[in-house]
Copies of this chain bind each other. A is one copy, B any other.
Amino acid sequence: MGTETTGPKYAQMAADLRAMIEAGDLAPGAPLPSEPELAERYGLSRTSVRNGIRLLVGWGLVVVERGRGTFVRQARPRVRRHATERYRREKDLVRRPEFERRTSGPLEQDTGLSLSDVTFRAEFDIVPAPKDIAGVFGVAPDTQMLRRRHLHVPKGDGFPLRGGESWLLLADAERNPDLLRPDLEPWPGGTQHQLSTIGIELDRITDSIIARPPTPDEMRSLGITAGVSVLVLRKVSIATDERVVEVADVVMPGDRTELIYTVDLPRWEK
C-alpha cells in the first residue's frame, strides 16, 4: 500500500489508488470502492476521502458519476485534425465540381464522419468588430462584421466536437448575398470556397493554439468536466494581396482533440 508516506493523508490515499490504476489492478471502467468504504479502509472521514478523489479527477485518472460510483477513466479516442492537409485540400477542392466538394470535404477527413452524421447548427449576425478582432483585421474597432457561430454535434454520441465563431468583413461578405444566409451552411467546400465566390484567393493561414480552463458555458456545450481544458485555435486567413480576410476561433474539448501540423523545410542548395 504505502506508496507515498509524506503529505496529507488524502493525498497518500490518492497516490495509492493512482499506483493501483497504473499497475492495472483497477482496470479502465472498473469502479473504485465507494466513498464510505474508502473512508473505512484508509481510516479517514468521508470529507477527506472526497479530497483524495478530487485529486484523482484532476489527474484525469477517474470520473465520478453521481448515484452510480467513481470509475477508472476510459481514454476516449482523440479526434485528429490534420490542419495542414485540411487547408491545402480545401483550397484544392475549390476548383473542383460540387459533387466532389460535397462528398470529400475536410470535415470527414478529420473526423471519420460523413456530413450526414453531423448536426450542424449555424447562427449569423452583423455586429461591430470587437477590439481584438479589429486588431487582427487591421480595421477600425467598430467596422461592421459578419459573425457566424457554429456547433458540430455527431449524432450518435451526444458530445459536440467543437464550437466556433468566424468573422468576415461585411464589406466582403455582401458581395455574395448567399454568404449572409445561415441556412446554406454547411457550405460544401468550406470557407475557402465561399471566399473564392467573391474573388478571394488565400496565400496562407496562420493558426495560434492555446489551452485554457473552460468557461461554465463551454463545460455545458462541449460536455466536458472540471479539470479538462479547452483548446482554442485562432485561424487567420490571409489573401494573396496580404489582406486578412477571415478570423475564426474554434473551441475544442482538450481531452478529445489532437491537432497536427506539417512543416515543409526547403531543401538545401547543393
- A residues near B (Cβ < 8 Å) are 15, 47, 58-60, 78, 83-84, 87-88, 91, 94-95, 201-216, 226-231, 240, 254-255, 257-268
Contact = CB atoms under 8 A, between A and B. Distances in A.
Contacts of A213: 58-60, 227-228
B60 A205 contact: no
A88 B258 contact: no
Q: How many copies does the complex hold?
A: 2
A59 B265 contact: no
Contact of A254 (B229, B259, B267): B229
Given A210-B78, A255-B211, A265 B205 contact: yes
A74 to B, nearest CB: 15
Given A58-B213, A88-B266, A264-B264, 8 more contacts: A59-B213, A60-B213, A87-B263, A94-B268, A95-B268, A202-B265, A204-B262, A209-B261
Contacts of A240: 267
A156 B227 CA distance: 29
A237 B244 CA distance: 31
Nearest to A15: B216
A207 B261 contact: yes
A206 B265 contact: no
Contacts of A259: 208-210
Given A211-B231, A212-B254, A254-B211, A205 B262 contact: yes
Contacts of A229: 211, 228-229, 254
